[in-house]
Amino acid sequence: MIVGHPSLRRLQRWLDGEEDGLDRHLATCERCATRIESLETDDSVLRQPLLELLTPPEELTTRLRGGIDERMRSREDLTLLSELFGLPIRAARVMSSTSQGET
Ligand SMILES: [Zn+2]
């Protein structure tokens, strides 16, 4: 017999795998199952601002891209090497520095 419903906090803990005693209640209580679903929704909603926080502003992205372009131009030989041999840039850089050491 269900006396009461677990608190939202307990449901959250159950979602986190820290609360074992709710399995039976949730299996029989549609209301709490719905609350669990809403908790999961809230969680994904909370993630959105975090994603926006992690996404750099457009200005910064453009600036970074410009910097990368400049670097790419100065390493055109490496890019060519990696394209010729189908190697990652890092490997091409190792090859390039090795051949430079020999001359
Ligand atoms: Zn319940």
pLDDT at 81: 59
Helix axes of 89-102 and 76-85: crossing angle, nearest 10 degrees: 110
Last residue of a domain, one of 24, 39, 54: 54
Q: Is 96 helix (H, G, I), strand (E, B) or coil?
A: helix
How many A from CA of 30 to the centre of ligand 1? 7
Q: Is residue 70, in this structure, part of any structural domain at all?
A: yes
Q: Say yes or no: 12 and 49 in one domain.
A: yes
Q: What is the mean pLDDT of each run of 10 residues along the chain (103 residues)?
A: 78 86 88 84 60 66 66 63 64 61 53
Please give the residue range of the domain that contains residue 93.
58-102
Query: What residues flank ion ligand 1 with Cβ within 5 A?
Result: 5, 29, 31-32
**Is there a contact between 90 and 96 (Cβ–Cβ < 8 Å)?**
no
How many A from CA of 41 to the centre of ligand 1? 18
